[in-house]
Structure formats: structure tokens, C-alpha cells
């Protein structure tokens, strides 16, 4: 099956009793048994499995080419489940530009539990390799990164982690499997904030893991079941519904994102534009190699004035864009990373990696591109 068919049919079956094309929302906590311990259709208690969630989990496995999909109550709950594979003294090497909440979980929760983290720009493969030792158990990346749109060569990292028997996890929230499928490129685990493009309509908080290896998939299902941050059936339904149009939406997000990036790159008030689809992006070649069909809808930029006040005025002036956290919904959103999504990263660290106070991040929606560009134009004036 091609990707654009998998989003609709991957792992899906008609509901056996009625032929319902979409799975009902099985709003039930528990399932009747024939005899103690003898289940009717494998379902026992909804924390372990629920048919609506199963439909979503099978769709997730299909679109990311994994053997197992797991749906969580948030993206961070999904990440947390991966971290539970680790033990004190284990080491993690992570990309130096990460979603703020991921960085916060690593440094304020798991670091205190005895896990050691190294943050490094993984475009520097030598530096990355120099940090590997016998305690290294996990490599964690995002690509493109949030909010600076750095691109990491998944295949290059995957070769190294495979040779050293280190788990390799990729947060694929920004690219989505429409543009990039990390498991095909050497990742062991794909993580999603399904709140973003997978759900796609800004109406649900959800997370996902897709695991390449079936045995590791079973282990992660055990962790999900045993710690309990599962996705409810109503929310699972919403994410599954979103996935049905993922290919169409991300195609348009990418077209609009490219046009916005090109417009900003020519704007006299703009200093830097961060977008992997621009030829002058430092990792444009890697992006072209591993992303297919576009470069996504996320665009960040800074002002020539370097003035925080200009960024704030821009964000107060947009009308088609809504000033709000989050991303990946059909509607355009604008955000100030330093004050909003990335405020949890200490200021010196923010400055060091380039999240300056004049940085604006746009989640370009699927409205008409003329309205989007006009809105940006008026917000600069």
C-alpha cells in the first residue's frame, strides 16, 4: 500500500457486528468475560487495550512502518514511556535543540533519577561519537528541530547507533510520516505529539510511539499498561480521524510553508529565516535526502533590528494567525518561543542555541496562501 492509501486503510477493519466503516468510540472501561480469565475478543480492561485505541495504534504502526503503535494521553507521556526503559547511570545523547518540555523532562526529572544526559548538535558526527561509551543506552533526536528547524541526518545516526547497539528514538512530530519515515532510515522508535499534525485540528492532546522491533514493542506495551498514561477512546477516535487526511493536509502545509519562508527571506525587516526548504538552509541537502514531498509547515524567523519589541508587535498584530502555543493544526498559529513554548529552557542555554528574544515561530496552516501572506505583510507594518 502507498502512503496515501495507508493513512485511510492502514491496519483498519470494518467493525465486525455492524460493518461500521469507522470504529465506534468504545466508551467502556471493562469487557465481559466468558469464564474467569477467558476473554471474548482479547479485551479485558481499557488501560491494557480498547478497540478504538487499537484501531488508532494499528494505523500508527502502518503509517510509520513499525511493528507496533502505542497511543498515549500526551506526547510527553509517550516520551516518558521511552525513558522508563532506562536505569540509573545509563546515558542519553540528545539533540541540543529540543521541544522545551522534552528538555525539561530530561533535565528536571530523569537527571535527578541518575540518568546522565549529553546535549549536542548531531550535525557534528565526530562530537556525537566522542560522547558514546558503554553506558550510552539511548539517542534522542528531533528533526526538523523545534524551533530552529535544524535537520539531522537520521540515516547517518542510525548506522552508528546500530553498530553500537544503542536505541535510537526520533521525535517525528514536525515532519510527520508523510514527509519522513525514521524507521525506514534506521530509527528504533518514533515518537509523536499526536496533538499536532496527526490529530491536525487542535482539538486533542495525544501522543504516540511506533516501535520497529516486535519484542521491544511488547516491552513498551507492558510499560504503557503498567504505568497507565493511555489515550482515551474519544481522543483516539479524533486522532484516527485526523490521520485520514494527514497526506492532504501536510502537502498543503508544506506548500504554504515554503511560500511563507520564501516571502520572509525577501522581507527587508527579516534577518534570518529557519526553514529546511530554503536552499541556503545549512542542512538543505540532508533535508532533501530524507524528506519527501516538501519540508513542512513550520517556519521561524528573526528581525534585523534584533529587537524583542518588534517580535511582540508582530505577534500582537497578526489576524489570520492566532497567537498561541502548539502547532500542526489546520489553522495558522504564531508563537514567541523564548516567552512561550521554550520558556522552560534557562535563558543562557536559550541564547547559546539561538532561541533569541526576536525569534518568532510560525505554524503555517492550510488557509489560502494569499490571506496568509497578506496577514504577515500587515503585521510587519
Size of the site for ligand PLP (CB under 6 A): 16
364 binds ligand PLP (CB under 6 A): no
The reply on whether position 97 binds ligand PLP by CB under 6 A is no
CA terminus-to-terminus distance, the chain: 49
Residue 105, SS3 per DSSP = helix
- Touching ligand PLP, residues 105-144 (CB under 6 A): 142
Kindly tell me which residue out of 99, 128, 197, 275 binds ligand PLP, with binding defined by CB under 6 A. 99
Residue in 55, 76, 286, 299 binding ligand PLP, rule: CB under 6 A: 76
Per rule CB under 6 A, is residue 361 in the interface with ligand PLP? no
| Phi and psi angles of residue 30, each rounded to the nearest 5 degrees, phi first | -140, 170
Beta-bridge partners for 68: 211
The widest CA-to-CA distance across the chain, in whole angstroms, is 73
* Contact status: 188 vs ligand PLP (CB under 6 A): no
Residue with cell 523564548: 338
User: Would you list the DSSP string of 260-321?
Assistant: HHHHHHH-TTEEEEE-TTSTTSTTHHHHHHH--S---SEEEEEETT--HHHHHHHHHH-SSS
The one catalytic residue among 6, 181, 196, 249: 196
- Please tell me the distance from the alpha carbon of residue 5 to that of residue 1, in angstroms, as a whole number: 6
The site string for ligand PLP over 263-292 (x = CB under 6 A, - otherwise) reads: ------------------------------
Smallest gap from residue 122 Cβ to ligand PLP (A): 16
196 is catalytic: yes
Residue 102 contacts residue 79 (beta carbons within 8 Å):
yes
The DSSP bridge pattern shows strands 136-142 and 167-171 to be: parallel
Considering the candidates 43, 99, 110, 197, report the single residue annotated as catalytic.
99
Rule CB under 6 A: is residue 332 a binding residue for ligand PLP? no
Specify burial of residue 44 (Cβ count, 10 A radius: 0-12, 13-18, 19+): middle
- Backbone φ, ψ for residue 200 (5° rounding): 80, -5
176 touches ligand PLP by CB under 6 A: no
Which CA distances in Å does 66 have to 193, 209, 266, 356? 17, 10, 41, 37
**Subset of 33-72 contacting ligand PLP (CB under 6 A):** none
Task: Identify the residue among 46, 54, 136, 146 touching ligand PLP (CB under 6 A).
Answer: 146
> Which has the closest alpha carbon to 196: 253, 140, 139, 148?
253
Q: How far apart, in whole angstroms, are the C-alpha atoms of residue 276 and residue 187?
A: 21
> Does position 103 bind ligand PLP by CB under 6 A?
no
Complex with ligand PLP: residue 70 or 379, whichever CB lies closer = 70
Helices H, strands E: what count in the chain?
14, 14
Looking at the Cβ atoms of 71 and 379, the one nearer to ligand PLP is: 71
Least distance from C-beta 236 to ligand PLP, angstroms? 14
Q: 45 an active-site residue?
A: no
Site for ligand PLP in 189-228 (CB under 6 A): 193, 195-196, 205, 207
In the complex, minimum distance from the CB of residue 3 to ligand PLP, in angstroms, rounded to a whole number: 21
153 is catalytic: no
Binding footprint of ligand PLP on the chain (CB under 6 A)? 74-76, 99, 101-102, 142, 146, 171, 173-174, 193, 195-196, 205, 207
Catalytic machinery residues: 47, 99, 171, 196
Amino acid at each position: 500500500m502507498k502512503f496515501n492509501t495507508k493513512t485511510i486503510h492502514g491496519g483498519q477493519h470494518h467493525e465486525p457486528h455492524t460493518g461500521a466503516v469507522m470504529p465506534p468510540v468504545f466508551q467502556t472501561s471493562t469487557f465481559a468475560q466468558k469464564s474467569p480469565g477467558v476473554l471474548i475478543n482479547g479485551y479485558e480492561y481499557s488501560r491494557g487495550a480498547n478497540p478504538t485505541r487499537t484501531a488508532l495504534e494499528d494505523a500508527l504502526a502502518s503509517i510509520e512502518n513499525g511493528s507496533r503503535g502505542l497511543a498515549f494521553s500526551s506526547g510527553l507521556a509517550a516520551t516518558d514511556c521511552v525513558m522508563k526503559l532506562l536505569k540509573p547511570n545509563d546515558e542519553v545523547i540528545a539533540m541540543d535543540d529540543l521541544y522545551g518540555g522534552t528538555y525539561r523532562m530530561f533535565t528536571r526529572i530523569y537527571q535527578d533519577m541518575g540518568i546522565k544526559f549529553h546535549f549536542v548538535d548531531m550535525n557534528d558526527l565526530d562530537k556525537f561519537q566522542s560522547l558514546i561509551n558503554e553506558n550510552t543506552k539511548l539517542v534522542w533526536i528531533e528533526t526538523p528541530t523545534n524551533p530552529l528547524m535544524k535537520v539531522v541526518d537520521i540515516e547517518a545516526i542510525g548506522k552508528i547507533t546500530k553498530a553500537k547497539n544503542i536505541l535510537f528514538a526520533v521525535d517525528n512530530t514536525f515532519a510527520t510520516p508523510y514527509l519522513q519515515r525514521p524507521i525506514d532510515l534506521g530509527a528504533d522508535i518514533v515518537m509523536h505529539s499526536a496533538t499536532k499534525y496527526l490529530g491536525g485540528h487542535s482539538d486533542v492532546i495525544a501522543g504516540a510511539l511506533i516501535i520497529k522491533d516486535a519484542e521491544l514493542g511488547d516491552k513498551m506495551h507492558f510499560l504503557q499498561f503498567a504505568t497507565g498514561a493511555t489515550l482515551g477512546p474519544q481522543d483516539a477516535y479524533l486522532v484516527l480521524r485526523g490521520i485520514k487526511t494527514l497526506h492532504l493536509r501536510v502537502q498543503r502545509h508544506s506548500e504554504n510553508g515554503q511560500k511563507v519562508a520564501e516571502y520572509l527571506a525577501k522581507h527587508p525587516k527579516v534577518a534570518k529565516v529557519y526553514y529546511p526548504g530554503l536552499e541556503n538552509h545549512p542542512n538543505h541537502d540532508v533535508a532533501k535526502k530524507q524528506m519527501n514531498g516538501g519540508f513542512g509547515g513550520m517556519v521561524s524567523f528573526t528581525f534585523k533590528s534584533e529587537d524583542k519589541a518588534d517580535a511582540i508587535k508582530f505577534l500582537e498584530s497578526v489576524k489570520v494567525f492566532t497567537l498561541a502555543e502548539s502547532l500542526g493544526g489546520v489553522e495558522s498559529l504564531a508563537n514567541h518561543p523564548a516567552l512561550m513554548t521554550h520558556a522552560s529552557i534557562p535563558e543562557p542555554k536559550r541564547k547559546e542555541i539561538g532561541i533569541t528574544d526576536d525569534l518568532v515561530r510560525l505554524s503555517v496552516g492550510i488557509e489560502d496562501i494569499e490571506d496568509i501572506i497578506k496577514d504577515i505583510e500587515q503585521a510587519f507594518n
